[in-house]
Structure 1
Amino acid sequence: MSTPANEFANYCAELLAPLGPVRIKRMFGGHGLYVDELFVAILSSERLYLKTDPINRASFEAAGCEPFCYEARGKLNTIAYYSPPDEALESAGLMQPWARLALEAALRARATPVLKKRVARPAAAKRSGGAKA
């Protein structure tokens, strides 16, 4: 049996499908959408939020799009996902410019090297033996 949340997730996957294969994954009480295995969107409370970054965020803000917010430990948190304009949800063609921005942000995020925390290593043991002449 298909639930309304699953139907909305499938519809959003259809909107993003022109960009490539879409995979839907349940997460955090909602869904995550992947295009070509790149995480590009969050579905929460039957709302779509697309990935943004400092390069494309101004386009979303200029169109009046809203950021994804959630509450944790009594604090309101915002992450780098914004709703597309309402009219973009009407068709895949209208969604494409916004979906492409999200995919480009995901590609940039993948290309950014992640700095790993350095692990302290024990000092090398002193070598035994005599001094060189």
Structure 2
Amino acid sequence: MAVSPEYKEFVAEQLEPLGSVRIRNMFGGAGVYLDDLMFGLIAGETLFFKVDDRNRADYVAEGSGPFIYEPPSGKTIAMSYYELPERLYDEPVELIDWARKALDAALATKAAKPVPRKSWNTRKKAARPGKHDARLER
């Protein structure tokens, strides 16, 4: 499901009021980013926005569903990105409102993830002297 350069350019133009939106290729599709925050996904010629409990009902009310990923294992995975209703392409102000809600959902998801901590075992052993450290045996 490759994404055409024309569609990427179209999406970038639609989202221009948000600021410096970047579209990066990934896994046959593309991610839509503002700064380093991914809030959208493009598969084929379809745009999906990040959803959470605060904005999912908007998509469901419009008859939109989630992006479905089907890995080689055959297990179907519904992701937290929903298809943008087609009518919004003709409503640029409302489209940006939906994009901002997607950004909020992406920020909330990022904030909810625990910050990975380095454990003592993953640090370099040379950084802590032990009883077999040659420097201590003098």
Could you say which TM-score interval applies, normalised by the shorter chain? Answer: 0.7 to 0.9
Q: How does 1:1-133 map to 2 (within 5 A)?
A: 5-72=4-71, 73-114=73-114, 116=116, 119=119
Structure 1 length-normalised TM: 0.78
Structure 2 letter corresponding to 1:45: G
5+ residue gaps, structure 2, are 122-129, 131-138
Percent identity of the aligned residues? Answer: 38
**Compared CA separation, residues 4 and 75, structure 1 to 2 (3 A):** closer
- Cα displacement (A) at 1:117: 7.4
**Alpha-carbon distance in 1 for matches of 2:89, 2:43:** 15
Structure 2 letter corresponding to 1:26: N
Q: How many residues are aligned here?
A: 120
Secondary structure in structure 1 of the residue aligned to 2:12: helix
Secondary structure in structure 1 of the residue aligned to 2:15: helix
- Cα displacement (A) at 1:21: 0.9
5+ residue gaps, structure 1, are 126-133
**Alpha-carbon distance in 2 for matches of 1:120, 1:62:** 49
CA RMSD for the aligned pairs? Answer: 2.3
Between Structure 1 and Structure 2, which shows a larger proportion of helix residues? Answer: 2
**Alpha-carbon distance in 2 for matches of 1:13, 1:114:** 31
Structure 2 length-normalised TM: 0.75
